[in-house]
């Protein structure tokens, strides 16, 4: 296994754990915590994608910023929408005076976005692996 694949897998394992925690929190109606972990899952999946492609990983928590970097490598990732919501949810959900209404609907949307990011990243990496094997 190449070092970049090893690092990518470590990021993706963390992303998967964050998705699991988000779902557990959602079942208990801890929607603020769940949304934080949704953002973390998407962030880590995208960082794994960048690691897989030997790109520097910026120290940012802005999912949309990481997605912009990833789209330069794989334009198909451009179909991912509303990733900025995850960054917004992650920040605002941590503060008691937040104007964000943390509802089941917000959680469901955030979880859907996080799952889509993870799914699309994994698919893009799988395609890249196939391409690498051909060369």
pTM (predicted TM-score) = 0.91
56 close to 9: Cβ distance less than 8 angstroms: no
Percent of the chain's residues with pLDDT above 90: 71
What's the CA gap between 95 and 8, in Å, rounded?
31
Query: Number of folded domains in the chain?
Result: 1
Residues in the chain with pLDDT < 50?
1
Give me the pLDDT at residue 4, please: 87
Question: At CA 110, angle to CA 84 and CA 70, rounded to 5?
Answer: 45
Q: Give which of 47, 51, 42, 63 is closest to 115, Cα–Cα.
A: 42
Which domain does 100 fall in, by range? 3-134
> What are residue 80's phi and psi, to 5 degrees?
-70, 130
């Amino acid at each position: 296994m190449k070092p970049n694949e090893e690092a990518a897998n470590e990021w993706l394992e963390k992303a998967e754990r964050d998705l699991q925690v988000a779902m557990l929190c959602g079942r208990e109606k801890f929607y603020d915590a769940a949304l934080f972990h949704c953002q973390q899952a998407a962030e880590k999946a995208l960082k794994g994608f960048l690691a897989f492609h030997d790109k520097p990983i910026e120290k940012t928590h802005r999912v949309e910023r990481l997605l912009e970097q990833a789209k330069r490598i794989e334009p198909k990732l451009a179909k991912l929408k509303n990733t900025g919501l995850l960054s917004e949810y992650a920040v605002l959900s941590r503060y008691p005076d937040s104007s964000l209404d943390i509802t089941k609907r917000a959680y469901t949307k955030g979880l859907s976005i996080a799952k889509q990011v993870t799914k699309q990243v994994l698919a893009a990496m799988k395609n890249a692996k196939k391409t690498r094997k051909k060369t």
